Structure 1
Amino acid sequence: MQNKGLVSVFAILFGLVSIYQLSFTFITNKVEDSAKEFANSKFTEDQPHERNVAEARYLDSVANNPVFLGVDYKTAKEKELNKGLDLKGGINVMLEVSVKDILKGLANNTKDAAFNQALENAKELQKTSQDTYLESFFKAFEALPGENNLASPDIFFNKNLEDVIEVGMTNAQVKPIIEKKIDESITSAFEVLRKRIDKFGVTQPNIQRIGKSARILVELPGAKDVDRVKKLLQSTAQLEFWDVYKFEEVAGFLQAADLKAGEIESAKSKTATTVETTQEETDSTASEEDDVSKLLGGQDVKDSLVDDGKSNPILSKMVSLGSQGSPVIATFRLKDTSVVNGYLRNPQIKSLLPNELRFAKFVWGLPEANPQLDGEETSSLYALKGNRNNTPPLGGSVVVDARQEFDQMSRVVVSMQMNGQGAKVWEQMTGNAYQNQSQIAIVLDDIVYSAPGVTSGPIAGGRSQISGNFTVPQGQDLANVLRAGKLPASAEIVQGEVVGPTLGQEAINSGVLSFLLALGIVLVWMIFYYGKAGIFADIALMVNILFIFGILAGLGAVLTLPGIAGIVLTIGMSVDANVLIFERIKEELAKGKAQKDAIRDGFNNALSSILDANITTGLTGLILLVFGTGPIQGFATTLLIGIATALFTSIFITRLFIDNYTKNGKDLPCSTSITKNLFTNVNIAFLKKRKMAYIFSAIMLTISAISLFTNGLNQGVDFVGGRTYTVRFAKDVNSAEIQDNLIATFGSAEAKTYGGDNQLKITTKYKVEETGTEVDDEIERMLYETVKKDMPADMTFEKFVGDQEGKSIGRMEYYKVSPTIADDIKRDSFWAVFGSLIVVFLYILLRFRKWQFGLGAVAAIFHDVVIVLGVFSLTYKFMPFSMEIDQAFIAAILTVVGYSLNDTVIVFDRIREFFGEHPNWKMNRVIDVALNSTLGRTLNTSFTTLIVLLCMFFFGAESIRGLLFAIIVGIFVGTYSSLFIATPIMYDTVKRKNIEDLLDRKEEEEAPAVEA
């Protein structure tokens, strides 16, 4: 090998750079371990929040202290190897900004019937369309009957857009303007979210807009307070100041609403006696005063009510009643607020509102733990003084600054400063409230944070405060979102994943264990099989691993569980390259060549096969990188990096050691006494057995097809939408029993053992079409109530959903995908698989110049994919691990494609080489000899790769077990198909069974044979 010195210098420098890049990770781990020890020494396991605060303060205090060679923790943290969500815990969400809300805002909340009908129709179109919401809206608008014009004064020709839209514009002229405005709004939302996240304090956050869509990806590895993050991301920061009704002004309506609700419930059941109400109960002032006096009397109203949910469906759910002069009407359990909302929104009940209350807007206050209900959360009901346009007297746009402070009672508050215009309105509002002895409700995203009275006259200067029993982090977050500004529209989580830090640490532990075990077995096997040459291959392999981690750290890439699987798979590929080289060296030695010549020719002849095999696998990895998201991109990234480093270390590093060892004439047989003659005299007539192989494969394909059409596949939430929870119990549980309980709660649900018998993976499609924090919280609360009886007695809801480090039971992981996102994932997955087949066919066509080779390879790949799908279809109902078809499974399928192709290309390379060497042989003889000559390499590589994968399968993380099982099945099937499907199909598609049909004799004479 020429330029050995240059290769050596490059390898040494690259190794030193990799060690330097990884040193930052060692520094951060050392400091963070010290921080954990400090926090654990100060607080117990029952104080997770205090531990987190103490840990954060410790890290802040030592952030700038030099740790090693002058490098401080802060600097090292910025350059460490990033760990993904599944290794570190945290939250990963896909937010979708509501284009519908933006359109409403641009149209100035118009009441135009055509416009609003088009919005609703667009929502329906989205369920079956891949168009954006805006494209669906345009289609829906144009499909409406009549001449509907977007530029009409009732829609987009208004104060908001009068500078860009004119009367008389056609719809075609208006569309690009609206598209631009929508894009600007989404960009604005992205910037608002970025500012909020920058202030949140999570290290290595990632926020990116997905193309030109309304979707924004937010990744916060290490974020432990998940509820806090979700509120931070989804809060529109729609701050409003409203005048509020007093209790006595609304109490009469509340009782009338309760009576009417009772009538409605009685009518539904058709068994209860109809409760009669008179018109005087709502219209007569005298009767209303009587009702109020009853409510305000000395008797306990709630004790006089029958809590049967029918006679008094509203008041029977009441925890406490408001008092005279108070802005609170009544207090209810948090879990009952949605039921009360349903009654208050009922048209029959709304019609009972007297004229002076007809614009009243009912909203809820911040949830608070009620000590009288063992800490269960309650919320207070308020009635805001609305108006015909439903607009507040003062909005949050006037706020120019906000910060978390402490009031005179040392309570956490958020102080705000308004601009001049806001200060004037605020002074007028506070003056009226002082004069009328009333309150002003401070409302953020339709939640009343506080409703203070004014005791000292009008407030000048635009200063105000929000209070609400905040913790310091809550106060900081509220000030953060107010400073960053409001989102131009609501942002809903359409895809989300929450991983507790405990699962992340367990994943690291299992990943490291399986990695080291697999590595150890491969290292020992290479020495056992190839002797001293195996030692050199092992050294090259270790250098390869160092390079991979160094490049990942240097690029700022994220290491995930699938990424670790990619690295482990790269070990097998790196070994494969050395196996090819050593097998070719053995062949050259068997021909009687001198050792120096045998080594040179062995490397040269193996180069073509190595390049072909790695390029084809690299192409599938590239497709994964383009079409995949999140962890799948992590898998593709490590796979591509591993391919590049494996090529360098296998070809150059191994060669350096071999040349240095043999330069003084030392013997290097590339085998041991046990393995010396393995596979040397094998003579299998592969082509004669092709008919039996065709029959066997046809049977397997038929069984797979029948199962796919009858049993189908266990499609995960990635493809159908839904919510998945990983729940761990203190003891082993019966999954079937819990599944029955869940079905009774949600209507449809699935519970499967996930890992140990004390852990379940629970999936439900309940309210899958609905988004929002309230819905997520509702479903988690329903889940908690369903499994609570199997949890310890002291398991509260807060402990169940909490994500503190060291947590051993409760909800450990959460994953959600909306149906729209699921459709997109399914489409991208299809194109990934289909695209890989096209790319493979084109590459082989280009590389071998004959379509028969491409057909054989694609047929083998199709064969392998269908059988792997069939195995999953046949076995997913009884396998003791998750066999869901999700994004990880698509990664596995493409890996199988790459592996099968790798094997097939190496066989084809050897066949093409033998065509050139033996032009007088019959084609069947050439093929059989070529297949037999590659058998040692094929089985050796398959064995080492399987060992690696089996270690990961049995000792690795549960979450990638399905992915690994698919690859393991794929290796068995892929090895078989490269020998008995790809080559025979290529052979049978040649018109005449001789070499001239595949190679032009003139080209053979003018060009040297391509060496494999």
Structure 2
Amino acid sequence: MLNNYPLWKYFAIILVFITSIIYMLPSLYGYKPTIYITQCTPEAMHQEIGDVLLYQVEKILANEKIINKCMSLQADKILIQFFCGQDQLQAYEKLSIIFSKKYQISLGTTPDVPHWLSVIKAKPIKLGLDLCGGIYFVIHVNTEIVLDKFQEKYIDTLKTILFEKNIPYLKIHKIKNHGIEINFQNDKYRNNAILLLSPIDHDLELQGIGIDTLHLFFSEIKKHAICEYAIHQNSAILRSRIHQLGIVEPLVQRHGTDRIIVELPGIQDIEKVKEILGTTANLEFRLVNAAISEFEINNNLIPEDSEIKLSKNGDLVPLYKRIVLSGDNIINSNVSVDEYNRPQVNVTLDRMGSIMMSNFTKDNIGKAIATLFVEYKDSGEKDVKGRTILIKEENIINIATIQSQLGNNFRIVGISNLNEARRLSLLLRMGTLVAPIHIEEERIVGPTLGKQNIVQGFTACALGILTSICFMVLWYRYFGLIASIALISNLILMISTMSVIPGVVLTMPSIAGIILTLSVAVDANVLINERIKEEIKQGKPVQYAIYTGYRKALTSILDANITTIITSIILYLIGTGPIRGFAITTIIGVGTSMFTSIVGTRAVVNLVYGKRHVNKISI
């Protein structure tokens, strides 16, 4: 028979549709407003979260007559789910007053699905910021400070190179446009330096000034690469920090030349998020210059390789400019107490940091090393380009004597109190930003606006589907009805696929992509039906007309859909934000529409007409 599928193929198609219906069901339940109660820090183990706290919370909510849907204890946190956002906010205000000093109270959303669906990992489709509300940030990355840091490091490199090659110099200092100026005694030393440095770095431009001065400038390509790396690394660290808040699907993406957009759907606790994201602190370990006397400090007679920093007690301490180790090499930290019950931070280094610390401490046993806490803060002023000017605050939090060779683990002592130790440990664990950042814009999108967007989007989708169904049924009759069933099946497949694939978020542009691909799916059935009608008009038998119609239309359908997929992939690769959402939805929709329009409708047609002798069909 021409139009007949083997039994296994029917079972496979049925299995696909049953599975898609099951994984679409959670999207009908959606999300519910939720409050999370967790420990302030992982070190706060003495603040136990258990049945006692759960009972206290239940009693407080009952006394305040705040209705909650359910409350559960999960590992190290309590989840309280509410029917509406108003009850969530009332409970948040009350619980924050009582427990904020002992526990972390956070706002969010959780899937509202039956237990049997959660067992098979079925979750509602993830909603974007424009649909479920949340927090929106525009973060400016200060690339100028990154270039300044690189400039300072390169000066240290130049000093080392010139010293090793016995080329004396009078002074090395920074100049405008992130350049470096080296002053020599005469042109001989200057020319020797040019011959030495020219082949070392091809991204370095050397200019001789006068008879004894050399200017060095980094190429624009080099500076651009440095800035790109800083933004890329900052984006990765921001994602890591967001994951600590329990947000699984954040949107962190590049925006323009030096900005990052962060969208956190379903999150409303903006102050907590700002505290986590906006922290620009770092640690620097530097050797104390014990050779500098108090007289030299008071009269500012400081050598070029050193500078004065302020300790937490207000003392002036001379430190070498060279940074032995920074927070970039710290991979983990936690808080404990020493034998005298004083707080300390235990630090674990990565492989590179371990080697650096080991080599340095081996050669400097008996010398004092300082831990410098560096933080960039908003000065309240803006530069000529309208960008916020950050001020650098540096304080020595600890000075210790190197007593033995250190490895990948050591501890920071001399911290005032346990809260300060916890904050320092959290900052180190969150990861150090490569470049200082500043939150330029912050916006809370209310869930009410999101509900309006959902209603409007799905109303447009429903009207589009109904219009297509009416046209197909009126124009193609029974075959139009089959195409309409495929259209609805396609929508189910799309929603279930989007809810299963990690990272796919439903936004208003995504809904536009759904509507577009549904119309493409109808086009495929129009091609098939018109081909069948042409074959019947030419006097071909019905079974042959159906077979030929599907076979001849297949090439046109594949060409059109593959072209659409290629275009969507390009949009996804070069686009950002809404464009990416539209592109990924279109790719998924085109794939599911080809399945339903070609395989799905063919299966129904084969079941109805495949094993029958038919002289006439309703098309």
Which bracket does the TM-score occupy, shorter chain normalised? 0.5 to 0.7
Instruction: Tell me the distance in 1 between the aligned counterparts of 2:414 and 2:607.
Output: 81
Q: Deviations over 1:48-82 (max 9, x none)?
A: 9969x99x97999999x99422736xx848x5432
- Say if 1:668 and 1:235 are closer, same or farther in 2 by CA, change over 3 A: farther
Residue 103 of structure 1, CA deviation: 0.7
Q: Deviations over 1:435-479 (max 9, x none)?
A: xxxxxx98743489999xxxxxxxx952323879xxxxxx98775
CA RMSD of aligned residues (A): 6.0
Instruction: Tell me the distance in 1 between the aligned counterparts of 2:505 and 2:558.
Output: 27
1:457-496 alignment to 2 at 5 Å? Answer: 462-465=414-417, 480-491=426-437
Instruction: Tell me the distance in 1 between the aligned counterparts of 2:313 and 2:323.
Output: 15
Identity, in percent, stands at 29
448, 460, 473: which is aligned to 1:514? 460
Give the TM-score taking structure 1 as reference length: 0.37
Larger Rg: 1
Instruction: Tell me the distance in 2 between the aligned counterparts of 1:184 and 1:148.
Output: 37
- Say if 1:139 and 1:487 are closer, same or farther in 2 by CA, change over 3 A: same
- Say if 1:657 and 1:464 are closer, same or farther in 2 by CA, change over 3 A: same
622, 628, 636: which is aligned to 2:583? 636
Instruction: Tell me the distance in 1 between the aligned counterparts of 2:439 and 2:320.
Output: 27
- Say if 1:5 and 1:387 are closer, same or farther in 2 by CA, change over 3 A: same
Aligned to 1:37: 83
- Say if 1:179 and 1:636 are closer, same or farther in 2 by CA, change over 3 A: closer
Aligned partners of 1:573 and 1:643 also within 8 Å: yes
Give the secondary structure class of the aligned counterpart of 2:82: helix
Instruction: Tell me the distance in 2 between the aligned counterparts of 1:483 and 1:536.
Output: 57
**Structure of greater relative contact order (alpha carbons < 8 Å, 6+ residues apart):** 2
1:964-983 alignment to 2 at 5 Å? Answer: none
Aligned partners of 2:24 and 2:124 also within 8 Å: yes
179, 199, 202: which is aligned to 2:247? 202
1:103-252 alignment to 2 at 5 Å? Answer: 103-107=150-154, 115-119=174-178, 142=205, 146=209, 192-205=237-250, 219-238=263-282
Aligned to 1:720: none
- Say if 1:476 and 1:417 are closer, same or farther in 2 by CA, change over 3 A: closer
Residue 190 of structure 1, CA deviation: 6.0
Residue 568 of structure 1, CA deviation: 0.5
Aligned to 2:53: none
Residue 593 of structure 1, CA deviation: 3.0
Residue 16 of structure 1, CA deviation: 2.7
Aligned to 2:78: none
- Say if 1:5 and 1:524 are closer, same or farther in 2 by CA, change over 3 A: same
- Say if 1:638 and 1:186 are closer, same or farther in 2 by CA, change over 3 A: closer
Read off the aligned partner of 1:526 and give its amino acid letter.
M
Q: Deviations over 1:942-962 (max 9, x none)?
A: xxxxxxxxxxxxxxxxxxxxx
Aligned to 1:543: 489
Aligned partners of 1:93 and 1:493 also within 8 Å: yes
Aligned to 2:10: 8
Aligned partners of 1:236 and 1:490 also within 8 Å: yes
Instruction: Tell me the distance in 2 between the aligned counterparts of 1:476 and 1:500.
Output: 33
Give the secondary structure class of the aligned counterpart of 1:487: coil
Aligned partners of 1:618 and 1:640 also within 8 Å: yes
- Say if 1:428 and 1:218 are closer, same or farther in 2 by CA, change over 3 A: closer
- Say if 1:505 and 1:139 are closer, same or farther in 2 by CA, change over 3 A: farther
Whether 2:18 is the aligned partner of 1:71: answer no
Residue 516 of structure 1, CA deviation: 1.9
Residue 180 of structure 1, CA deviation: 10
Read off the aligned partner of 1:37 and give its amino acid letter.
F
Aligned partners of 1:360 and 1:385 also within 8 Å: no
Read off the aligned partner of 1:641 and give its amino acid letter.
I
Aligned to 1:84: 128
Residue 641 of structure 1, CA deviation: 1.8
Give the secondary structure class of the aligned counterpart of 2:83: helix
Give the secondary structure class of the aligned counterpart of 1:142: strand
Read off the aligned partner of 1:417 and give its amino acid letter.
V
Aligned partners of 1:239 and 1:445 also within 8 Å: no
Aligned partners of 1:102 and 1:182 also within 8 Å: no
Residue 536 of structure 1, CA deviation: 0.4
Aligned to 1:298: none
Aligned partners of 2:457 and 2:508 also within 8 Å: yes
Aligned partners of 1:238 and 1:486 also within 8 Å: yes
- Say if 1:68 and 1:527 are closer, same or farther in 2 by CA, change over 3 A: same
1:701-716 alignment to 2 at 5 Å? Answer: none
Aligned to 1:17: 19
Read off the aligned partner of 1:445 and give its amino acid letter.
Y
Q: Which 5+ residue runs of structure 1 have no aligned equivalent?
A: 122-137, 157-170, 242-353, 363-381, 406-413, 430-440, 452-459, 469-474, 672-1012
Q: Deviations over 1:254-296 (max 9, x none)?
A: xxxxxxxxxxxxxxxxxxxxxxxxxxxxxxxxxxxxxxxxxxx
Residue 539 of structure 1, CA deviation: 0.7
Instruction: Tell me the distance in 1 between the aligned counterparts of 2:210 and 2:19.
Output: 68
Aligned to 1:578: 525
Read off the aligned partner of 2:246 and give its amino acid letter.
G
Instruction: Tell me the distance in 1 between the aligned counterparts of 2:124 and 2:508.
Output: 17
Give the secondary structure class of the aligned counterpart of 1:576: helix
Read off the aligned partner of 2:376 and give its amino acid letter.
D
Aligned to 2:601: 654
Read off the aligned partner of 2:452 and give its amino acid letter.
E
Instruction: Tell me the distance in 1 between the aligned counterparts of 2:537 and 2:472.
Output: 21
Instruction: Tell me the distance in 2 between the aligned counterparts of 1:66 and 1:519.
Output: 27
Aligned partners of 1:95 and 1:215 also within 8 Å: yes
1:646-685 alignment to 2 at 5 Å? Answer: 646-662=593-609, 663-665=611-613, 669-671=617-619
Give the secondary structure class of the aligned counterpart of 1:201: coil
608, 611, 614: which is aligned to 2:561? 614
Instruction: Tell me the distance in 2 between the aligned counterparts of 1:489 and 1:42.
Output: 37
More strand by percentage = 2
Q: Deviations over 1:710-736 (max 9, x none)?
A: xxxxxxxxxxxxxxxxxxxxxxxxxxx
Aligned partners of 2:237 and 2:430 also within 8 Å: yes
Give the secondary structure class of the aligned counterpart of 2:21: helix
Residue 91 of structure 1, CA deviation: 3.3
- Say if 1:484 and 1:593 are closer, same or farther in 2 by CA, change over 3 A: closer
Instruction: Tell me the distance in 2 between the aligned counterparts of 1:477 and 1:16.
Output: 50
- Say if 1:20 and 1:462 are closer, same or farther in 2 by CA, change over 3 A: farther
Aligned to 2:477: 531
Residue 503 of structure 1, CA deviation: 3.0
414, 417, 421: which is aligned to 2:345? 417
Residue 186 of structure 1, CA deviation: 7.3
- Say if 1:512 and 1:179 are closer, same or farther in 2 by CA, change over 3 A: closer
More helix by percentage = 1
Aligned residues: 467
Read off the aligned partner of 2:580 and give its amino acid letter.
Q
Residue 574 of structure 1, CA deviation: 0.7
Instruction: Tell me the distance in 2 between the aligned counterparts of 1:428 and 1:390.
Output: 10
- Say if 1:604 and 1:579 are closer, same or farther in 2 by CA, change over 3 A: same
147, 158, 167: which is aligned to 1:100? 147
- Say if 1:143 and 1:231 are closer, same or farther in 2 by CA, change over 3 A: farther
Aligned partners of 1:404 and 1:476 also within 8 Å: no
Read off the aligned partner of 2:178 and give its amino acid letter.
L
Residue 235 of structure 1, CA deviation: 2.0
- Say if 1:579 and 1:69 are closer, same or farther in 2 by CA, change over 3 A: same
Residue 566 of structure 1, CA deviation: 0.6
Aligned partners of 2:309 and 2:319 also within 8 Å: no
Aligned partners of 2:237 and 2:432 also within 8 Å: yes
- Say if 1:36 and 1:647 are closer, same or farther in 2 by CA, change over 3 A: same
- Say if 1:630 and 1:611 are closer, same or farther in 2 by CA, change over 3 A: same
Whether 2:376 is the aligned partner of 1:445: answer yes
Give the secondary structure class of the aligned counterpart of 2:417: strand
Aligned partners of 1:43 and 1:50 also within 8 Å: no
Aligned partners of 1:22 and 1:553 also within 8 Å: yes
Aligned partners of 1:589 and 1:595 also within 8 Å: yes
